[in-house]
Amino acid sequence: MYEKIDLIAGLDIGTTKTSVIVAERDRYTGEAQIIGVGSVPSAGLRKGLIVNFEQVVRSVSYALEDAESMTGIRADSVFVCFSGALTTSITSKGMVSLGSTPRQVTEIDIQRVIEASLSEISMPNNYCTVHTIPVTYSIDGQRGIDDPLGMTGVRLEVEVQSIMSPTATVQNVVNCAERAGVSVAGLVIKPLASALGVLSPGEISSGVAVIDIGGGTTGISIYVDGALKRLTVIQIGGDHITNDIARVLKVPIEVAEELKRYVSLGEDFDAYDEELEFMVQGKRGFCSAGQVHEVAYNRLEELFDDFIKKELRDVGSILLPSGIVLTGGVAKMKGIAEMVSEVLNMPVRVANPLDSAKMPPGRNGSEYASLAGIIKYMNIIEKCPFKFIGPSITLTSTISSKRGRSYGEDVHGLRAIDFFKSVLNAIKRTFKELF
């Protein structure tokens, strides 16, 4: 799926902004070094979903141009991160016998055990897998094996996370990118990209939940004992806070956005009575900082109480000693770490991308976590292609593109049976690349 080239690029189609990251692969270490970030406001998305195709195509084109003007490089092939609204993840287990006497595990055995685990899944209608992730293996009951290849035993087991999105959603993302003149080499779902973008290996192995609160969606990835246990996308983000402020205080969205960025969510917010002044159609308006604080606090409290607590409860927050890592644009709200720590009764840190020092100033904050994560993802699959198995659909456009690329098959009709076949093919492909 992935061509060995020296320049690699990622495209993040977010609800608020569309951004492009360009990196150069070091010929000696193989590591990708970031050389530029393009970013423009998004249009045509709501709650993480494409609602106006042509507007999204334009946002992608502008983001590509912006990256080109910064780096002098025109990306023609990208890995695309998308918010993944309506995404769901399913855990399944597989087991295969290695024979009656112990022998070494081969790549064929790994392939068989993953296949066995996938045969358990019943995929929702009109969904496709975006990622198939073998999270942990066991041999003869010894659990927690990262890579069983070459190990000896009589019984191989695997736990697999299958991350699925509506096929039409995925196809729309691919079509938009292709229409903007760039081919799609791979896909990464936002909560996974954000986790890779901000988490240290120590946090992953001890147990942690990453929460990326963007403009239209909140992505959650939960790691327990070094393995991805759960991945969820909720269609609530910073736009909801802004809209609430606009509605309650009867101010335009732009004013509400400014007010949101000014106030703090923290308990120690001492400017509660501070009078804030704003202009609406040439007229002066006023509100108290406390009013804005309350509206923002209530919306976020609802997000955590009604949705995120359930995700954490299902896994068991006791299994997350590294607590919560908050990222995405909303993580920039003042006092948010304190507020979330109080609501969840867990340690919380706000995270910028691990590679923020290598990214351009102003384009390296928490809202770029998932963009930075795309490069991490590409680095991982370059080294270990079996860590993340790619989509179960062909990543080509179903429409004619500006560059007249070849048309893909009509993936809308893809059935569950094709899913197993295509995942198997993907596995076979990655193994071929490996050996």
Ligand X SMILES: Nc1ncnc2c1ncn2[C@@H]1O[C@H](COP(=O)(O)OP(=O)(O)OP(=O)(O)O)[C@@H](O)[C@H]1O
Q: Which of 10, 11, 15, 426 binds ligand X (CB under 6 A)?
A: 15
Coil, strand, or helix at residue 31? coil
Q: Is 44 in the site for ligand X (CB under 6 A)?
A: no
Which entry of ligand X, Mg ion, none binds 186, CB below 5 to 8 A by partner kind? none
Least distance to ligand X from the beta carbon of 413, Å? 28
CA-nearest of 240, 166, 301, 326 to 15 is 240
Q: Which of 38, 166, 186, 328 binds ligand X (CB under 6 A)?
A: 328
Tokens (6 digits) for 185: 């080499």
Tokens (6 digits) for 207: 């147990």
Look up tokens 């993944």; give the residue: 84
Q: Which of 190, 229, 293, 363 binds ligand X (CB under 6 A)?
A: 190
Q: Is 429 in the site for ligand X (CB under 6 A)?
A: no
Q: Which of 48, 134, 191, 214 binds Mg ion (CB under 5 A)?
A: 214
Which entry of ligand X, Mg ion, none binds 94, CB below 5 to 8 A by partner kind? none
Q: Is 197 in the site for ligand X (CB under 6 A)?
A: no
Q: Which of 59, 175, 217, 352 binds ligand X (CB under 6 A)?
A: 217
Size of the site for ligand X (CB under 6 A): 25
Q: Which of residues 221-240 bind ligand X (CB under 6 A)?
A: 237-239
Q: Is 48 in the site for Mg ion (CB under 5 A)?
A: no
Tokens (6 digits) for 55: 């507007």
Residue-by-residue DSSP string for 288-342? EHHHHHHHHHHHHHHIIIIIIHHHHHHH-GGG-TT-EEEESGGGGSBTHHHHHHH
Query: Pairing state of beta strands 348-350 and 324-327?
Result: parallel
Query: Pairing state of beta strands 17-25 and 49-50?
Result: unpaired
Q: Is 10 in the site for ligand X (CB under 6 A)?
A: no
The residue (of 214 and 373) whose beta carbon lies closer to Mg ion is 214
Q: Which of 109, 311, 355, 367 binds ligand X (CB under 6 A)?
A: 367
Q: Which of 10, 14, 48, 191 binds Mg ion (CB under 5 A)?
A: 14
The residue (of 85 and 96) whose beta carbon lies closer to Mg ion is 85
Asked if 145 contacts 157 with a C-beta cutoff of 8 angstroms, the reply is: no
CA-nearest of 367, 87, 385 to 221 is 87
Asked if 189 contacts 165 with a C-beta cutoff of 8 angstroms, the reply is: yes
Select the span of 9-17, 52-60, 161-169, 357-365 touching Mg ion (CB under 5 A): 9-17
Select the span of 149-157, 211-219, 267-275, 373-381 touching ligand X (CB under 6 A): 211-219
142-145 sheet: strands from edge to edge: 88-97, 155-166, 127-139, 142-145
Least distance to Mg ion from the beta carbon of 371, Å? 8
The residue (of 82 and 304) whose beta carbon lies closer to Mg ion is 82
DSSP one-letter code for 246: H
Spatial CB neighbours of 352, under 8 Å, sequence gap ≥ 6:
198, 327, 364, 365, 366, 368, 369
The residue (of 327 and 422) whose beta carbon lies closer to ligand X is 327
Coil, strand, or helix at residue 202? helix
Q: Is 216 in the site for Mg ion (CB under 5 A)?
A: no
Q: Which residues bind Mg ion (CB under 5 A)?
A: 14, 214, 370
Give the binding site for ligand X (CB under 6 A).
14-17, 42, 48, 83, 190, 214-217, 237-239, 242, 257, 260-261, 328-330, 332-333, 367
